[in-house]
């Protein structure tokens, strides 16, 4: 059982990334190791080039993201931790997979529609083929499982189709991976605008809780979270008519590692939404304060971060080089196999 997932080094990582993805990464590295296999986690710097970027900032954000993941509990001794651009097989495989990816399928991707609508100057070809590189990330490792938040569902479905189409045409070369979405917290919503997902690109800094916000700022954002005017207050989960309250309950449950029903039961004596907000802020701070402290220790040592990436790339290529050899052989590219 092999796991692969990726995270962009753009912007600052938020609670949605943490609950939807990073918590699953940490759990997955142990599960994969226990099964005698490995989990590969990747900071996807090449994907960050699909919208305008600043080259100097890019390096800083890669280090920021790496330090957050390590602070959260990724252990380079247990998993393979890489920077995408260090493993050239990702981009080579993306080209080969492009040959079996339908232009029409890429055109249907929600993320492409949203992000292309936001570009003022240039909608790049890389933004359009983003999901092909994402497919290559996973398929280059023959990974079985892809832990992501709900917003990446369509991309993972596309990569499954691409792997199937490749295998139908060229033989059983690639593994068709499974999507893995957390049961609670797959879609954390913006605290100010709870019908939109929490996101780095939203214009709602007050509604986005960053992993590196301090405890006070976190508490303030939760205290100001939008709920509703039900009187008496109704603390419930999964109610589309009550998106703000449902989101807080989901966050509380995901951060405590319990079910939404258990989170609601723990608030049986709550006098109002204020108690729900404070309980959630406290649970989030309890989860993130140690991560923030470890981040502050890890982030300054860029040489160490580079050394971790170098070792990761070496381990990664032990997997990807043979896979690419099989792919080239199957598609008739490169020297005749002996």
Let me know how long the chain is. Answer: 338
Nearer to ligand TYM by Cβ, of 8 and 320: the residue is: 8
With contacts defined by CB under 6 A, name the span among 192-200, 258-266, 290-298, 303-311 that binds ligand TYM: 192-200
Nearer to ligand TYM by Cβ, of 138 and 226: the residue is: 138
Interaction of residue 64 with ligand TYM, rule CB under 6 A: no
The answer to whether the beta carbons of residues 222 and 275 sit under 8 Å apart is no
Residue 36 region by backbone torsions, left for phi larger than 0, else alpha for psi between -120 and 50, else beta? left
Interaction of residue 253 with ligand TYM, rule CB under 6 A: no
The answer to whether the beta carbons of residues 331 and 92 sit under 8 Å apart is no
CB of 107 vs ligand TYM, minimal distance in Å: 17
Out of 2, 47, 61, 256, which residue is the one contacting ligand TYM (CB under 6 A)? 47
Q: How many residues of this chain bind ligand TYM (CB under 6 A)?
A: 26
Out of 29, 129, 144, 152, which residue is the one contacting ligand TYM (CB under 6 A)? 152
Q: Report in angstroms the alpha-carbon separations of 301 from 45, 63, 98.
A: 19, 9, 38
Could you give the CA distance from residue 233 to residue 167 in angstroms, rounded to a whole number?
Answer: 54
Out of 39, 62, 134, 174, which residue is the one contacting ligand TYM (CB under 6 A)? 134
The answer to whether the beta carbons of residues 81 and 312 sit under 8 Å apart is yes
Out of 28, 76, 149, 260, which residue is the one contacting ligand TYM (CB under 6 A)? 149
CA–CA–CA angle 301, 306, 311 (5° rounding): 130
Interaction of residue 16 with ligand TYM, rule CB under 6 A: yes
Interaction of residue 160 with ligand TYM, rule CB under 6 A: no
Interaction of residue 138 with ligand TYM, rule CB under 6 A: yes
The answer to whether the beta carbons of residues 148 and 5 sit under 8 Å apart is yes
Binding string, residues 256-285; x marks residues near ligand TYM by CB under 6 A? ------------------------------
With contacts defined by CB under 6 A, name the span among 30-38, 144-152, 223-231, 325-333 that binds ligand TYM: 144-152
With contacts defined by CB under 6 A, name the span among 134-142, 166-174, 271-279, 321-329 that binds ligand TYM: 134-142
Could you give the CA distance from residue 252 to residue 180 in angstroms, rounded to a whole number?
Answer: 21
Nearer to ligand TYM by Cβ, of 137 and 219: the residue is: 137
Residue closest to ligand TYM (Cβ):
20
Nearer to ligand TYM by Cβ, of 95 and 300: the residue is: 95
Residue ranges binding ligand TYM (CB under 6 A): 4-8, 16-17, 20-21, 44, 47, 134, 137-138, 146, 148-149, 151-152, 155, 186-188, 197-199
């Amino acid at each position: 059982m092999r796991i692969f997932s990726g995270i962009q080094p753009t912007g600052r990582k938020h609670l949605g990334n943490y609950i939807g993805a990073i918590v699953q990464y940490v759990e997955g590295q142990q599960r994969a190791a226990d099964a005698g296999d490995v989990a590969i986690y990747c900071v996807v710097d090449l994907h960050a080039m699909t919208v305008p970027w600043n080259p100097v900032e890019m390096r800083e954000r890669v280090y920021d993201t790496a330090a957050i993941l390590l602070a959260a509990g990724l252990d380079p001794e247990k998993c393979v931790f890489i920077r995408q651009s260090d493993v050239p097989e990702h981009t080579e495989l993306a080209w080969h997979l492009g040959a079996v990816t339908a232009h029409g399928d890429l055109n249907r991707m929600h993320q492409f529609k949203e992000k292309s609508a936001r570009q003022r100057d240039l909608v790049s070809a890389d933004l359009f083929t983003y999901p092909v590189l994402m497919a290559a990330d996973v398929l280059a490792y023959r990974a079985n499982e892809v832990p992501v938040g709900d917003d990446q569902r369509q991309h993972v479905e596309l990569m499954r189709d691409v792997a199937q189409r490749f295998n139908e045409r060229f033989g059983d070369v690639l593994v068709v991976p499974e999507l893995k979405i957390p049961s609670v917290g797959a879609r954390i919503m913006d605290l100010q605008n709870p019908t939109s997902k929490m996101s780095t690109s939203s214009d709602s800094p007050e509604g986005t809780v960053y992993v590196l916000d301090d405890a006070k700022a976190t508490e303030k954002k939760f205290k100001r979270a939008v709920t509703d005017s039900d009187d008496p207050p109704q603390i419930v989960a999964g109610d589309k008519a009550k998106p703000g309250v449902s989101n807080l309950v989901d966050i509380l449950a995901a951060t405590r590692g319990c079910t939404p029903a258990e989170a609601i039961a723990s608030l049986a004596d709550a006098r109002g939404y204020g108690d729900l907000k404070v309980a959630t802020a406290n649970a989030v701070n309890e989860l993130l304060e140690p991560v923030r402290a470890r981040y502050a220790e890890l982030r300054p040592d860029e040489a160490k971060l580079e050394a971790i990436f170098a070792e990761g790339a070496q381990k990664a290529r032990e997997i990807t080089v043979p896979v690419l050899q099989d792919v080239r052989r199957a598609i008739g590219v490169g020297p005749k196999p002996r």
